[in-house]
Amino acid sequence: MAENPFFAPSDLPYELPPFADIREEHYLPAFERGMAEQLAEVEAIASSTETPTFENTIAALERSGRILDRTATVFFSVAASNTTDGIMEIEKEISPQLTRHSDAIRLNRALWARIKQVATDDPEEAWLLEKYRDDFIRAGADLSEPDQNRLRALNEELSKLSTQFAQALLKASTESALVVSDPKELDGFDEAKIESLRQDDGTYVLPLLNFTCQPGLAQLTDRDVRRRLYELSVGRAPGNFAIAARMAALRAERAALLGFPTHAAYTVADQTAKTVEAVEEMLGQLVGPAVRNAKREAEALAEQAGFDIEPWDWSYYSEKVRQARYDFDGAAMRPYFELNRVYRDGVFFAATKLYGVTFTERPDLGGYHPDVTVFEVANEDGSPLGLFVLDPYARPTKRGGAWMNNLVDQSFLFGQRPVVMNNLNITKPASGPTLLTYDEVNTAFHEFGHALHGLFSQVRFPRVSGTSVPRDFVEYPSQVNEMWVTWPEVLANYAKHHETGEPMPAELVEKLTAAETFNQGFKTVEYLAATLLDWAWHKLAPGETVADPEAFEQAALEAAGIAFPLVRPRYRTNYFAHIFSGGYSAGYYSYIWSEVLDAESVEWFKENGGLTRANGDHFRRELLSRGGSLDPLTAFRNFRGREASIQPLLKRRGLD
């Protein structure tokens, strides 16, 4: 283990992790050494006889735990993107240990006493100091010894349950997959798609993606096959219902220990929303209009179908109605959305136009899987900015969804430039080009918005680097980046037929634009139902338990006025990874909260000339570069020039 690659900083460019040298047996020794080393560093800070200062206390804490940080960053990235049975076993073993380790630091009374004595006049230092104090208070630093012991037990059990939930869901994506023996049952898919699903035993397997309405529901012509796929989707990982109910009860108990009436109140207190009432006021403005829109849409679908539709019919017949109303066929766009062109001539092109940055593929730098591609990013003057790592394809070893994470955090403290990563879950064709749906293109731009937030970070301390902002703010910059998907100059540059190179016909673009508010009732109800389900689980009172999670789920939706039988939540409890294994508990409202800021910002870009360097530089300077180094709503006001209004969002979603 003397050659354990985690024991020293990587010597690759930008300290990219040396994936080729990392083996599974390196992880546990590196975790163990990393935790021991950080505890020793923390003890030295806590026991110091020097007068507490920002430098010898807060900055010293920022410098601690380098081995642990390198190890955890790589391990959890690989566990999410390319796991193995061995990694899953390590994850079960190490997750509670990491929880105990975190508690050992944040419940260290001597350390907390020093932090409370630190003072500074520097604005960035003062903001970080306040974040540390808030972190420690919310972690239980002021609790009595018995209460701290109970808190440790709660945290450890929650950590174990979260891992169990995530691993059960990963297995369910294949164990609950749609399996057919006759390819005729897959009518509606093109030949390349069908071929990509064929297995060695002659069957065809369609794995589940991590949301209720699987993409295949819009294409499969066989109604019974759609029903089977839908029922597999909503019924997967049934054991997760009990895990979720237990986690919600434990979170309620923990919130009470920390002085909050509910876990929801605990969560939003350090978000931009601040209060439960603020979130509920915003959601309350959306539920009624969204349900009314969805009911109108359902009537149109039933008329198109000629019968009363079921939930598994919605996506299929919404495409039929879209074609009838707007003469728009989403499938007709796919030949113009080839993966490499979408990124190089679309995602990267827009970033170059806005910010002057350029991208150069680095085939000499590898990832943890052959499908991973690394790009070096440079500023307009050629100065190095960081690395962008792309992992686009779905596989059984990758969790569902799409996400961004940092492999290296930017900070002036360590002189580190950022290494950021985007993961998507696009089906890899058996051969030929990878053609994307419009939604997948949108996801690519969205996740790259997160990447820009990480790449443009210009802060001193890792704790506030890049996307280290409140959950209800972090989605905002990524949602803004979606506006360039259909921006004429950008679309014309990347939307070209993969065989002929011909640009997407202008009439197809016009039809897409005309159809943009179509099906927004469904999309908003689907999202709000998940949001309000999250909210219901996390407004449980301390001591309140749920014996029948499925009945609780239905009652919660009915109480919120969002129970519409044809539109189930985007995520049901049993596969709601965001809130039971992904850090978004009582925070799924963040997407719509952030979209208020996003819609305002899109208006600003349009009012000021759109895709220009001046606009990009302003957004980068005032917001993207600041990370979490100042109050996020202050950063928004510095960019926008005023407070946000909900009206642009209502207009965008057809709810005004």
Digit-coded pLDDT (tens) for 466-502: 999 999 999 999 999 999 999 999 999 999 999 999 9
Rounded Cα distance between 652 and 344, Å, is 28
Active site residue 447: yes
β-strand partners of 419 = 387, 408
CATH architecture entry for 252-296+523-653: Orthogonal Bundle (1.10)
Look up residue 469 and give its DSSP letter.
S
β-strand partners of 260 = none
Considering 185, 447, 475, 526, which one is annotated as catalytic? 447
CA-wise closest residue to 140 among 104, 172, 166? 104
180: left (phi over 0), alpha (psi -120 to 50) or beta: beta
Going by C-beta distance under 8 Å and a sequence separation of 6 or more, which residues neighbour residue 460? 124, 411, 412, 413, 629
The confidence score (pLDDT) of residue 482 equals 97
The confidence score (pLDDT) of residue 623 equals 97
Terminal-residue alpha carbon distance, the chain: 62
Residue-range domain boundaries for the chain? 13-142, 177-236, 252-296+523-653, 335-470+484-508
Evaluate whether 35 touches 97 at the Cβ level (below 8 Å).
Answer: yes
CATH topology of domain 335-470+484-508: Neurolysin; domain 3 (1.10.1370)
CATH architecture entry for 13-142: Up-down Bundle (1.20)
Domains 13-142 and 252-296+523-653 share a fold: no
For residue range 315-343, what is the model confidence (pLDDT) as tens digits?
999 999 988 998 888 889 999 999 999 99
Say how many C-beta atoms besides its own lie within 10 A of residue 95's C-beta.
21
Q: Scanning the structure block, which residue is given the tokens 């686009």?
A: 392
Residues in the chain with pLDDT < 70?
A: 1-2
- The pair of three-digit structure tokens given for residue 130, joined into one six-digit string: 């306040």
Say how many C-beta atoms besides its own lie within 10 A of residue 262's C-beta.
21
